[in-house]
Structure 1
Amino acid sequence: MIERLLPAYVSCAATREATVADGNLFPEEEELIARSVPKRRNDFATVRACARRAMGKLGLEPVAVLHGKRGMPLWPEGIVGSLTHCEGYRAAALARAEDVLSLGIDAEPHAPLPDGVAELVVLPSERERFAAAGGEAGGIHWDRLLFSAKESVFKTWYPLTLTELDFEEADLTFHRESRDGVRAGGGPESPSAEGTFSARLLRTDPAVPPVLEGRWRIEDGIVATALLLRSDRREGDAPQSL
């Protein structure tokens, strides 16, 4: 699913399995989750198995994937990437730094956000656009899609700036390409939907363009989003549209 949102030069690996046979951890990784509950350990191991599969597609030897501040994955020199996991889906996306400056991916269950969360992440301007688009009449949980897209924005922003970007500091606009309906709640037989999104950053940094362009897809009860900046971007260029 993630691979459908990113260019071919990005190496992607994903699984819908709750556990994977190649989910063994390096000792350094074991130290990071020594006191974690079983669910956290499983998520940690399965998404790193995805990361190592993606490394293999780039011709890299498997290595430990540790993390820095804000959970930012620490990749081998010359590699950029992003990880995501949720109930029913884990994925990794990696690329060579000569091709990609930064990228972010996110996956979420296609369901409404928990009570009270939408008020924290949805701007009034975004809420107005959702209402104009018919709310959830088309079967899309726009609040969850927005949450996922803002996570992808943050994952792209943070490695370049090493500063926080709050949910209210990005104003997102979504465009839908698929005309298939999506039943609320998803399910194996639910038709898919996909499109693009634009993120207008309300906080500026010279390392990141003021507008970012990404892609989204809903399939089998999962919403996934992805965004990247190409390394060959020059001052004044339009951001890479996925």
Structure 2
Amino acid sequence: MICEAEIAAALRGLFEGPVAVAVTRPAAPQPPLMPGEAAHLARARPVRLAEFTAGRSAARQAMQALGLPPQPVFTAPDRAPIWPAGLVGSISHCADCCVAVLAHARDYAAIGVDIEDDSPLPDDLVAEVCTPSERARMAQPQASAKRIFCAKEAAYKAQYPLTKTLFGFERFEVQFTTRHAFEARFTQATKGFRRGDYLPGRIASVTGHLVTGVAIGQIAAKGA
């Protein structure tokens, strides 16, 4: 059984500046989607529709936490959420939980968040997700393949609104600086980022889940 309050508190702790967070459950009843939000989901399976609905519900709860009226979050042709003007944010879901993190664009350039169940990454995915040097560091407790996967997911979501660049796991090299902090370093030049530039992030384990956050341009740290 998930504890929404504990997950929400862990999410807030991932960011230096002000953010609004919300946690929902796909299995629980949610308010209906707003007109136009489900335009691309005509053939979606019920489980996908439930996840999407829970994610949009979480996004609207986060808007209200920022003191804003709930607004639709449409989907771009590349499937990325289109946030209302003046907001940045990120949505993530796993089997039993959806999370949304939103902030004012004056405080962040972009945000990326990921939630996963805190279980080992399947063996057949380790080589796909982790570079040879990352695998060599996995003797360190904080550098498990699943934690590396989560870090890369959050970093990718943070960079995408700025670069609009699709790429694979090999484009980031993750190194944990502490148990709860990491750097996701670009292994290739990407629009707006040089090879070797990095995105700092944080990770936490809470109620059987891993939550990860990456912020770009946050007010507390130049270059973060």
Match of 2:60 among 41, 52, 62: 52
Deviation at 1:68, TM superposition (A): 1.7
Give the whole-Å Cα distance in 2 for the aligned partners of 1:127 and 1:110. Answer: 18
**% identical aligned pairs:** 34
Unmatched 5+ stretches in structure 2: 1-6
What is the one-letter code of the residue matched to 1:196?
A: A
Whether contact under 8 Å (1:160, 1:208) holds in the other structure is: no
Unmatched 5+ stretches in structure 1: 135-139, 178-194
SS in 1 for 2:124: coil
Match of 2:211 among 201, 224, 233: 224
Map 1:103-122 to 2 at 5 A: 103-122=111-130
Say whether residues 1:215 and 2:199 are aligned partners: no
Whether contact under 8 Å (2:115, 2:211) holds in the other structure is: yes
Q: Which residue of 2 aligns with 1:25?
A: 33
Q: Which residue of 1 aligns with 2:188?
A: 203
Deviation at 1:110, TM superposition (A): 1.1
Deviation at 1:34, TM superposition (A): 2.3
Q: TM-score, normalised by structure 1?
A: 0.81
Deviation at 1:30, TM superposition (A): 2.8
- Give per-residue Cα distances to partners, 1:123-142, cap 9 Å, x unaligned: 011111112x15xxxxx781
What is the one-letter code of the residue matched to 2:171?
A: E
Q: Which residue of 2 aligns with 1:239?
A: 223
Say whether residues 1:154 and 2:156 are aligned partners: yes
Give the whole-Å Cα distance in 1 for the aligned partners of 2:73 and 2:80. Answer: 10
Match of 2:12 among 3, 11, 17: 3
- Give per-residue Cα distances to partners, 1:169-195, cap 9 Å, x unaligned: 111011444xxxxxxxxxxxxxxxxx0
Map 1:184-195 to 2 at 5 A: 195=180
Match of 1:93 among 74, 82, 101: 101
Runs of 4 or more above 4 Å deviation: none
Deviation at 1:238, TM superposition (A): 4.8
Say whether residues 1:123 and 2:107 are aligned partners: no
Aligned residues: 213
Q: Which residue of 2 aligns with 1:67?
A: 75
Q: TM-score, normalised by structure 2?
A: 0.87
What is the one-letter code of the residue matched to 1:239?
A: G
Whether contact under 8 Å (2:20, 2:101) holds in the other structure is: yes
Give the whole-Å Cα distance in 2 for the aligned partners of 1:46 and 1:73. Answer: 14
What is the one-letter code of the residue matched to 2:154?
A: S
What is the one-letter code of the residue matched to 2:110?
A: S
What is the one-letter code of the residue matched to 1:9?
A: P
Range with greater deviation from structure 2 (95-104 or 108-117): 108-117
